[in-house]
Structure 1
Amino acid sequence: MSSEVIAKPPSRDASEKEQESYPPIVPGASLLLALRLANRPILLIGGGVVASQRLYFLLESSAHITIISPGPLHPSIQYRIDDPATSPQITWLNRPYLGRQDEVKVKDYDLVMTAIDDNDLSKETCELCREEKVMVNVADIPPQCDFYFGAQLRKGPLQILISTGGLGPRSGAMIRDLILRVLPSDIEDSIKGIGALRADLRKRAPGVGGQLGQERMDWMKDTSDTWGLDLMRRFNDEELRKEILDKGWESRKIIGPNDLSGVASTWTQRIWSMVGQRDWTVGMGGFGLGVAVTSLGVMILQRQGRL
């Protein structure tokens, strides 16, 4: 008897069932994107505390920032201007911004941000940007913002943005802190590990799209699910990555932790994942202390005749 499965076109009933599983569209959301701003020109108008917060994130994105603001600046902005590590990214024009009359034109920048107390000047800047089709953020005035900053969290390559659509920045920060408390302390190691494996795989299977691209995506997804977030940190080992690719990808198989040579037993792996690669001494110390306390309790109960 043949075991071949013949694919059938979906029936009308199946199509309706699929439609029921589609998520509903809820209008009003922001499109959350990760902008790559390295060496891109950004205009920042203002030199106070809000501008200093904007500057921090722009510097981390490796953008080139033109600041227009009379001194004295917020201490952290002045520090970044004076610091040789960040000063090449900053051009400071020590004067007020003049709006339409200013020699600096918003059309020459990829993004514009204002953080000033002058509402009329902020509105004028917003109008200029809309005319030139340049995206603008006006601090504390959501209707004049094409994008929001939100509460941000960064651990190495991991970045998380919490947006409330401009409604409650403080609540976004509180949610961010909740996420931070439950994240593993070394989560970045797992992300770097899976990134290294993905990079090695792309060398073996280059290209975009097509059947090979789909096979590569499916294999990476199934391999990630098999190893789990905790054990992905082990992909930072170059020899282990090679073995996974040799035994797994080349045969289009999913290789798990137990399928590799020299890998510890499942029980050991569970202990390893619970204790963590960096904090194993603390974990073993706690385990030893627990054993000692338990033994002492048993001895006391035995002497009291309760055991």
Structure 2
Amino acid sequence: MSQKFPKVQGGGSLIVAWQVKSKHVLVVGGGEVAAGRILHALNADAQVTVVCPASGLNDEVAFRVSEGQVSHIDRNFEPSDLEGADMVLCAIDDPEASTTVWKLCKEKRIPANIADVPPECDFYFGSVHRDGPLQVMVSTNGNGPKLASIVRKKIAATLPGNMGAAIENVGELRKKLRVVAPRTEEGPKRMKWMSGVCESWSLDDLVEMNENDMDRLLRHYESESGEIPTLKELR
């Protein structure tokens, strides 16, 4: 019986796509590591505040401050900075101060990441490949960030260059399908039909698909047979 089910492999992390759009992310520090954390948060449409003396900002962080991409508090961290924070990313070269930030976050139940201190992290940052809506993350659970980068580059090298564009079109088709078939009970049929499109159409066809093609294709969803014609047949 046990062979029918996946084996439990302990020691991993729960890898999820954390939605932080419009959430308040507090970044403590302004160096190279902080710059990377800030970019991750901005790419996820978060509202970012950086706490760091101006003299400690590197060129990238200083640029984002000057452009108004992030808010800046020109001093060292103080406990009051945690008010209203939904997430804290700490990247400073002061172990004692970092641990203080960690303990305060635990008291306030604010998820936090203390750079390069795995035991003081509620979550880890992985190595990410980005192509439009496509994000592929490789995590070593804090054991080897450089190895994560190497594995991520190998994975990215195997992906087609137009994968992001194909995903954008599939996402648009999916939105249109929900308008055509909005009822909750149609969920299983919608999922099965979208899976059929993704499996039967080539990546190049998905990239080439335009809005007219989508509208024609959706007419087939509504037909009795629910067949999925090729792009050539549609046109």
Q: Same fold (TM over 0.5)?
A: yes
**Residue type at the aligned position of 1:53:** G
**Residue type at the aligned position of 1:242:** D
8 Å Cα contact 1:42-1:112 kept in structure 2: yes
**Residue type at the aligned position of 2:72:** W
8 Å Cα contact 1:111-1:135 kept in structure 2: yes
TM-superposed CA distance for 1:41, in Å, is 0.6
Which of 49, 66, 78 is the aligned partner of 2:62?
A: 78
Shift in CA distance, 103/141, structure 1 to aligned 2, threshold 3 Å? same
TM-superposed CA distance for 1:252, in Å, is 4.4
Match of 2:113 in 1: 137
Deviating beyond 6 angstroms after TM superposition, the runs of 4 or more aligned structure 1 residues are none
8 Å Cα contact 1:219-1:249 kept in structure 2: no
Listed one character per residue, the Cα deviations across residues 13-58 of structure 1 (whole Å, up to 9, x for unaligned) are xxx4xx5331111111111111222221111100111111111111
**Residue type at the aligned position of 2:11:** G
Match of 2:157 in 1: 181
8 Å Cα contact 1:219-1:252 kept in structure 2: no
Distance 2:91 2:234 in 1: 58
**Residue type at the aligned position of 1:82:** S
Match of 1:232 in 2: 206
Match of 1:103 in 2: 80
Q: State, as a whole percentage, how many aligned pairs show the same letter.
A: 32
8 Å Cα contact 1:137-1:145 kept in structure 2: yes
Helix, strand or coil: the match of 1:112?
A: strand
Distance 2:98 2:211 in 1: 52
TM-superposed CA distance for 1:261, in Å, is 4.2
Q: How many residues align?
A: 234
8 Å Cα contact 1:41-1:63 kept in structure 2: yes
Superposition RMSD in Å: 1.7
**Residue type at the aligned position of 1:103:** S
TM-superposed CA distance for 1:138, in Å, is 0.2
Helix, strand or coil: the match of 1:215?
A: helix
Shift in CA distance, 44/207, structure 1 to aligned 2, threshold 3 Å? farther
**Residue type at the aligned position of 1:243:** R
Helix, strand or coil: the match of 1:130?
A: helix
Match of 1:91 in 2: 71
User: Whose radius of gyration is greater, 1 or 2?
Assistant: 1
Describe how 1:1-307 pairs up with structure 2 within 5 A.
Answer: 16=1, 20-72=3-55, 73-83=57-67, 87=68, 89-98=69-78, 102-104=79-81, 106-208=82-184, 210=185, 212-235=186-209, 237-257=210-230, 260-262=233-235
Distance 1:218 1:261 in 2: 20
